[in-house]
A and B are shown apart, each in its own frame.
Chain A
Amino acid sequence: KQEVTQIPAALSVPEGENLVLNCSFTDSAIYNLQWFRQDPGKGLTSLLLIQSSQREQTSGRLNASLDKSSGRSTLYIAASQPGDSATYLCAVRDQGAQKLVFGQGTRLTINP
């Protein structure tokens, strides 16, 4: 059974810092991995989708990497801003599966 873990559960950094959020999964037979952000009381916003055959994906200040063999993905945020404060979730889709398996998220706070 696939399990997804995100550590730490919460992270607080000063504005302007570059930071890395971590996601690990137990079964490497994944189809793809998706990163989301969730603002309090809101829905999920898709940030990046990275296919199992890819090593990384970039969108603006965000870069997601995937190491399937070690069961890890990282989300790199460059030059963090207060507006980046949110909970970041990663989710994996196993080969042949319909559902996404979500981690518990990392609650990120960027301090001005």
Chain B
Amino acid sequence: DAGITQSPRHKVTETGTPVTLRCHQTENHRYMYWYRQDPGHGLRLIHYSYGVKDTDKGEVSDGYSVSRSKTEDFLLTLESATSSQTSVYFCAISDSWGNEQYFGPGTRLTVT
């Protein structure tokens, strides 16, 4: 299995609070991705990174920001959590563009 960890694994937070999810990899892969998984929508890309300090938006980026200050860490921040951001969040990594993506175990976030 690819060395990907996500923290926390579960979180319950209140509407309006900021939340940061962390993805950590030990594979030294260049590309990192954040997806969310929702019933009826499947998995959708939020943001991705193609190197340290290099990030770009995915298809559902509103309300989210990311940062990558080190190769191994990719942070996803919900500036002000809303109930619509209740979801399971997955981090993925890839060693180069177009190559196989490997997924982390996920973080289940509930916004009350």
Q: Which residues of A contact B (CB under 8 A)?
A: 31-32, 34, 36, 42-46, 49, 89, 91, 93, 98-100, 102-105
Contacting residues, chain B, for A34 (C-beta < 8 A): 100-101
Name B's A-contacting residues (CB within 8 A). 1, 33, 40, 42-45, 48, 56, 58-59, 90, 92, 97-106
Are B101 and A100 interface neighbours, CB within 8 A?
A: yes
- Total contacts A to B, CB within 8 angstroms? 49
Interface centre among A34, A91, A93, A99 (most CB of B within 10 A): A99
Chain A interface secondary structure, helix, strand, loop or mixed?
strand
- Give 28 pairs: A residue, B residue, CB < 8 Å, sorted on A: A31-B98, A32-B98, A34-B100, A36-B103, A42-B106, A43-B90, A43-B103, A43-B104, A43-B105, A45-B1, A46-B103, A49-B99, A49-B100, A89-B43, A93-B98, A98-B33, A98-B45, A98-B48, A98-B56, A98-B97, A99-B48, A99-B58, A99-B59, A100-B43, A100-B45, A100-B101, A102-B44, A105-B42
For A100, the chain B residues whose CB sits under 8 A away are 43, 45, 101
A100-B17 Cα distance, complex, nearest whole Å: 30
Once bound together, how far apart are the Cα atoms of A49 and B99, in whole Å? 8
Smallest CB gap from B39: residue in A: A104
